[in-house]
Amino acid sequence: MAIWFIFALMTGLAIGAVLWPLSRRAPAPAGQVDERAFYEQRLAEINRDAGSGYISAIEADAARAEAARRLLRESRSAPMGLADGESEYALRRRRAASAIALSTIPLVTLAIYGAVGSPDLGSLTIAERRARPVAQADAGDLVARMERHLAAKPDDGAGWELLAPVYLRMGRPDDAVKAWASVLKLRGETPARLASYGEALVASSNGVVESFARELFERAAKGDPAAPMPKFYLAVALAQDGDMDGARKAFEALLKSAPPDAPWRAAVEARIEGLQRQAMAKDIASAPAEAQQAAIAGMVQGLAERLKANPDNPEGWRTLVRSYVVLGRKTEAGAALADGVRALGARPDEAARLEAFARELGVHPKTP
């Protein structure tokens, strides 16, 4: 609130300053620079130069004559004097000018500042940040503390190893790459470090496994044949090279070897599903038009059945509704929406999202 008071004060001062010259009746004529004053100055200079002997008497005479000629010429084209400050016109003009100043300054300022400013956002200087107790510090603060420590002691390999995975989680893959490179240099290679370094490299090249990263994964896999991460990325690399079958086999083998509660199962399953979808899309694209329609309809049918069997899948319901809309089957889209909302009943936020999504596509729930 205080900030708005300061803004009001600043605006008020600005308006007051602009109105001040308008309030004065007769502006001081001091400092007028006109032809006559200029002529007199010029004569004084000529006299001074002549007096100190820098120009001869003849030159001084010539200069004086010239100055007089110029005064004559210029006073003939002199501008009109200033208008009478007290006339009716002048008063009206001043009122108009005051109105312009009074309206323009606050309106322009508020409109523009309202659009670009963020008056509610406080400052957070580095001193305030460092003074915050650890409990309040965010991950960024801790990282910054670590970075300061490492800038002073860049040979602290353990520090880099602590920081590197944090970088990756914070979405700073380039820094993670640098950190892992330092770890490898300072603490030596292990299969796990090689794989993490490779993972950071993949993240920094937007998910593409480049040849250097691939080499790292191969070395990591050789060092620890049981580790899943190198195998995963090597499979990704296979898919990148266009070896879809090989990639799928590699992923499936990985899935088979996975313990049932492994957190990375979902990622592998998603990859396999993606590969299957790609393969199917390729099949459909190469089929004749009618067969294509049939294949798509079949896929939609398949999805509908999968959802019936396993209804807790919001993404699946949205896909199903969209598919029906794309195929032009409005009634079925409505039915699917109603089914989906009912199926997601236990999760009201997801149900609401599905409804909102359907509304955007122009689908309204219909009970079958």
Partner 1 sequence: MIVEIGHYALVLALALSVIQTVLPFWGARARDASLMGIGPVAAVGVFICVAIAFGALTWAYVTSDFTVRNVVENSHSLKPLLFRITGLWGNHEGSMLLWVLVVALFGALLAVARNMAPGVLRADALAVQGLISVAFLTFIISVSNPFARLVAPPAEGQDLNPILQDIGLAIHPPLLYIGYVGFSLVFAFAAAALIGGRIDAIWARAVRPWCLIAWAFLTLGIAMGSYWAYYELGWGGFWFWDPVENASFMPWLSGTALLHSILVMEKRDALKVWTILLAILTFSLSLLGAFLVRSGVLTSVHAFATDPGRGLFILAILVFFIGGGFALFAWRAPLLKTGGLFAPVSREGALVVNNLLLATACATVFIGTLYPLALEGLTGDKISVGPPFYDATFVPLAMALLLLIPFGQALAWKRGDLAGAVSRLLFVMGLSIVACLAIVFMQHGGPVLAVIGLWLGIFVFVGGVNEILSRSWKRGASLSVVLRRAAGLPRSAWGAAVAHAGVGVCVIGLAAQAWSIETLASVRPGQPLAVGPYEVVLTDSFSRQVANYREDVARFHVLQGGAIIRTVDASKRFFPARNTSTTEAGISTIGLGQVYVALGDAGEHGLGVRLYWKPWVLLIWIGAVIAAIGGALSFSDRRLRVGAPTRGRRKQPAAKDATAMATVAAQ
Of residues 44 through 103, those in contact with partner 1 by CB under 8 A are 45-46, 49, 52-55, 58-60, 62-63, 66, 70, 73-74, 77, 79-83, 85, 90, 93-94, 97, 100-101
Least gap, CB of 41 to partner 1 (angstroms): 5
Considering only 1, 68, 72, 113, the residue that binds partner 1 (CB under 8 A) is: 113
Interface positions, 140-169, toward partner 1 (CB under 8 A): 140-141, 143-144, 147-148, 151-152, 154
Q: Decide if residue 366 touches partner 1 (CB under 8 A).
A: no
Interface positions, 165-224, toward partner 1 (CB under 8 A): 178
Token pair 């009943």 is at which residue?
345
Interface positions, 9-28, toward partner 1 (CB under 8 A): 10-11, 14, 17-18, 20-22, 24, 27
Going from the C-alpha of 244 to that of each of 22, 152, 202, 239, 240, the distances in angstroms are 81, 48, 19, 5, 8
Considering only 32, 136, 211, 286, the residue that binds partner 1 (CB under 8 A) is: 32
Contacts of 156 (CB under 8 A, 6+ apart): 149, 150, 186
Q: Decide if residue 119 touches partner 1 (CB under 8 A).
A: yes
**C-alpha–C-alpha distance, residues 208 and 216, integer Å:** 14
CB 330 within 8 A of CB 321: no
Least gap, CB of 169 to partner 1 (angstroms): 15
Least gap, CB of 268 to partner 1 (angstroms): 33
Least gap, CB of 134 to partner 1 (angstroms): 13
Q: Decide if residue 116 touches partner 1 (CB under 8 A).
A: yes
Tokens matching residue 82? 């200033």
Based on CB atoms, which residue is closest to partner 1, 152 or 346?
Answer: 152
Q: Decide if residue 109 touches partner 1 (CB under 8 A).
A: yes
Least gap, CB of 62 to partner 1 (angstroms): 5
CB 203 within 8 A of CB 173: yes
DSSP code of 124?
-
H helices within the chain, ranges in order? 2-23, 35-51, 57-76, 88-116, 126-131, 139-152, 157-169, 173-187, 191-204, 211-223, 228-240, 244-257, 265-286, 289-309, 314-327, 330-343, 348-361
